């Protein structure tokens, strides 16, 4: 445990000078149309909505609001491209187009990073080091699969599905677009993608990249808008496959609305991951893992380690160290390279998080927040932990999608496992121990699609991601992610 002698005076004497990323070279148009059939076009009904910087509440641009008519145009363009050039193209040639997208994204990485942070509120360090490089890597990885699909499904042939309708969330805007578009294209499908309402800008930038890469018109169409545009995609009879990432409630609605159709679907939904710290863990590393698990991307992460289980004998030490570490986290300007926690994505999400803070306290939880100051304008939430909560607490059971951690303790191995699995979700989990046999036992028994042992919140294009139980259906990433975009037949 840190003692008063070796504890650094984080309280004030160690401030950082601002180190903001410059926005000089960034080109954001005042208005964005819809990207349909290779062109940026006006929405049929002429409606646009503001997209704002959640850190300043300033308007960044205006974005087209797609109606069902626009979605219909996009689906028809995608169908024509599927029947036409894209469907007829040799897989190896398709592959080269996808590689091109990856390369152009790498070239424009800095621009993408800054816009991602401006529009979504995430720290520039994260956009720069995680979101954007992983997005490019995702295209690069799947590009190579295009002409090798026969090796992915032993004893089967793999054929494309047709038009994929894809709906993505606001927490990793460009990365989620890449997770959706790259495998769809590699498998020979065409795409209609709808970004989230609050984070459309990097998707429109991606549209520029796709146009610059020379993809045939209609292969990728990007329609911006709110829930109605998403519903129009799901309900469109010309869509062969729906891929959705978002909340379990919306996922459930989509699964119901697809009932009775022949449309395929994959759903990547909510989570409430257990992060389990055993007494024999490397405690300092585990504390870093807890911080990364719940405060990464403001906690706007479906696989966030939002339920912490600490073995009782080390609970005091872990919680004390965690509180110390929370004091060092810098909350503020997303464009500042020192920032650890950026802005909450929207006022709607901030309200939701704040309501859970009230619920947690009303349920008898003991709330602790770091003492940092947050800017006056913009949407902010200081890193928050709850202790004294129980399995039945709503802050333990429900997905908050913010920097809010619910902490419980356990004595025995089985107790940790039972508590960890006591949730309808099953997206991810974490375990910290120095004992290898315990790692393998625990990682096998946690009912979740991704399990991190002595690490947390790691992602890679080659690594399948997706949930058990109510956290979704299907996988994205890796060889297993191809499955979502092909139909298998007898050889």
Partner 1 sequence: MSADRIAVAKTYKIYIGGKFLRSESGRYFTLKDKKNNVIANICRSSRKDFRNSVVAARGAQLSWAGASAYLHGQILYRIAEILEGRREQFVAELVLQGIALRTAEKEVNQSIDRLIYYAGWSDKYQQVFSAVNPVSSSHFNFSVLEPTGVVAIISPDDSNLLGLVSNIAAAIVGGNACIVLASETKPLCAVSFAEVLHASDVPDGVVNILTGFRSELTEFFASHMDVNAIIYCDGGKAAAKTIQVLAADNIKRVIARNRVDWSGDAASPYLIRDTQEVKTTWHPIGT
- To partner 1, the closest distance from the beta carbon of 362 in angstroms equals 27
- Calculate the dihedral angle through the C-alpha atoms of 205, 380, 298, 442, rounding to the nearest 10 degrees: -160
Considering the complex, state which of residue 20 and residue 489 has its C-beta at the smaller distance from partner 1.
489
Give CA–CA dist 115/202, Å, rounded.
7
Question: According to the binding rule CB under 8 A, does residue 154 interact with partner 1?
Answer: yes
CA end-to-end distance (rounded Å), the chain: 62
Considering the complex, state which of residue 40 and residue 459 has its C-beta at the smaller distance from partner 1.
459
To 5 degrees, how large is the angle CA 444–CA 448–CA 453? 60
Question: According to the binding rule CB under 8 A, does residue 48 interact with partner 1?
Answer: no
Please tell me the count of residues contacting partner 1 according to CB under 8 A.
Answer: 47
Number of other residues whose CB lies within 10 A of the CB of residue 8: 11
To 5 degrees, how large is the angle CA 274–CA 275–CA 281? 150
Kindly name the residue from 302, 381, 399, 470 that is annotated as catalytic: 302
Give CA–CA dist 179/203, Å, rounded.
12
Kindly name the residue from 21, 126, 197, 268 that is annotated as catalytic: 268
Give CA–CA dist 181/219, Å, rounded.
10
Q: DSSP secondary-structure letter at 131? A: I
**Residue range at the interface with partner 1 (CB under 8 A); choices 201-209, 359-367, 384-392, 441-449:** 441-449
* Nearest residue to 248 (alpha-carbon basis) of 169, 348, 343: 169
Question: According to the binding rule CB under 8 A, does residue 169 interact with partner 1?
Answer: no
Considering the complex, state which of residue 274 and residue 343 has its C-beta at the smaller distance from partner 1.
274
Active-site annotation holds for 268: yes
Q: DSSP secondary-structure letter at 476? A: B
Chain centroid, CA 344 distance in Å = 14
- To partner 1, the closest distance from the beta carbon of 181 in angstroms equals 20
Question: According to the binding rule CB under 8 A, does residue 81 interact with partner 1?
Answer: no
- Please identify which residue in 450, 482, 484, 486 interacts with partner 1, judged by CB under 8 A: 450
Active-site annotation holds for 288: no
Number of other residues whose CB lies within 10 A of the CB of residue 22: 9
Question: Which string of x and - marks every residue 241-270 that binds partner 1 (by CB under 8 A)?
Answer: -------x--xxx-xx-xxx------x-x-
Considering the complex, state which of residue 338 and residue 454 has its C-beta at the smaller distance from partner 1.
454
Considering the complex, state which of residue 245 and residue 248 has its C-beta at the smaller distance from partner 1.
248
* 49, β-bridge pairs: 63
Considering the complex, state which of residue 152 and residue 331 has its C-beta at the smaller distance from partner 1.
152
Give CA–CA dist 475/440, Å, rounded.
22
Question: Which string of x and - marks every residue 464-483 that binds partner 1 (by CB under 8 A)?
Answer: xxx-xxxxxx-x--xxx---
**Residue range at the interface with partner 1 (CB under 8 A); choices 48-56, 153-161, 200-208, 307-315:** 153-161
Q: Are 361 and 367 in contact (CB under 8 A)?
A: yes
In the numeric block, which tokens belong to residue 329? 């986290």
Question: According to the binding rule CB under 8 A, does residue 398 interact with partner 1?
Answer: no
Considering the complex, state which of residue 145 and residue 386 has its C-beta at the smaller distance from partner 1.
145
Give CA–CA dist 74/223, Å, rounded.
8
Question: According to the binding rule CB under 8 A, does residue 434 interact with partner 1?
Answer: no
Strands 486-490 vs 366-369: parallel, antiparallel or unpaired: unpaired
Question: According to the binding rule CB under 8 A, does residue 46 interact with partner 1?
Answer: no
- To partner 1, the closest distance from the beta carbon of 40 in angstroms equals 34
Please give the residue ranges that form the binding site for partner 1 (CB under 8 A).
137, 154-156, 248, 251-253, 255-256, 258-260, 267, 269, 424, 439, 443-444, 447-455, 458, 460, 462-466, 468-473, 475, 478-480, 488, 490
Active site residues: 268, 302
């Amino acid at each position: 445990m840190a003692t008063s002698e070796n504890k650094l005076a984080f309280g004030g004497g160690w401030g950082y000078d601002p180190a903001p990323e410059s926005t000089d070279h960034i080109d954001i148009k005042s208005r964005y149309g819809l990207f349909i059939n290779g062109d940026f076009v006006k929405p049929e009904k002429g409606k646009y909505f503001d997209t704002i910087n959640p850190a300043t509440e300033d308007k960044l641009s205006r974005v087209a609001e797609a109606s069902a008519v626009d979605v219909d145009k996009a689906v028809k363009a995608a169908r024509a491209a599927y029947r036409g050039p894209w469907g007829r193209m040799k897989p190896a040639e398709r592959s080269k187009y996808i590689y091109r997208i990856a390369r152009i994204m790498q070239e424009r990485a800095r621009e993408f990073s800054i816009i991602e942070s401006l529009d979504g509120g995430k720290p520039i360090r994260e956009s720069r080091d995680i979101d954007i490089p992983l997005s490019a890597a995702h295209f690069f990885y799947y590009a190579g699969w295009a002409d090798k699909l026969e090796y992915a499904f032993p004893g089967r042939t793999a054929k494309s599905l047709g038009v994929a309708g894809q709906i993505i969330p606001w927490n990793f805007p460009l990365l989620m677009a890449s997770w959706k578009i790259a495998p769809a294209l590699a498998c020979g499908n065409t795409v209609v993608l709808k970004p989230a309402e609050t984070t459309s800008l990097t998707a429109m930038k991606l549209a520029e990249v796709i146009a610059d890469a020379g993809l045939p018109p209609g292969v990728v169409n990007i329609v911006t808008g709110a829930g109605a545009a998403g519903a129009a995609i799901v309900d469109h009879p010309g869509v062969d496959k729906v891929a959705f990432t978002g909340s379990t409630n919306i996922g459930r609605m989509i699964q119901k609305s697809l009932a009775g159709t022949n449309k395929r679907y994959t759903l990547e939904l909510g989570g409430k991951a257990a992060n389990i710290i055993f007494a024999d863990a490397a405690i300092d590393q585990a504390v870093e893992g807890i911080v990364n698990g719940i405060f990464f991307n403001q906690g706007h992460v479906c696989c966030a380690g939002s339920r912490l289980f600490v073995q009782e004998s080390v609970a005091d030490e872990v919680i004390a160290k965690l509180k110390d570490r929370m004091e060092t986290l810098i909350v503020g300007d997303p464009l500042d390279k020192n920032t650890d926690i950026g802005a909450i994505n929207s006022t709607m999400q901030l309200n939701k998080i704040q309501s859970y803070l009230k619920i947690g306290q009303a349920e008898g939880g003991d709330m602790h927040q770091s003492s940092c100051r947050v800017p006056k304008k913009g949407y902010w939430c200081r890193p928050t932990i709850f202790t004294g909560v129980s399995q039945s607490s709503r802050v333990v059971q429900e997905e908050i999608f913010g920097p809010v951690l619910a902490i419980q303790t356990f004595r025995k191995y089985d107790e940790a496992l039972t508590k960890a699995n006591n949730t309808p979700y099953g997206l991810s989990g974490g375990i910290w121990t120095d004992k290898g046999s315990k790692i393998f036992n625990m990682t096998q028994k946690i009912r979740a699609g991704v399990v991190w042992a002595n690490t947390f919140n790691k992602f890679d294009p080659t690594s399948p991601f997706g949930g058990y139980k109510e956290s979704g259906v299907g996988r994205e990433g890796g060889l297993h992610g191809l499955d979502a975009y092909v139909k298998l037949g007898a050889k």
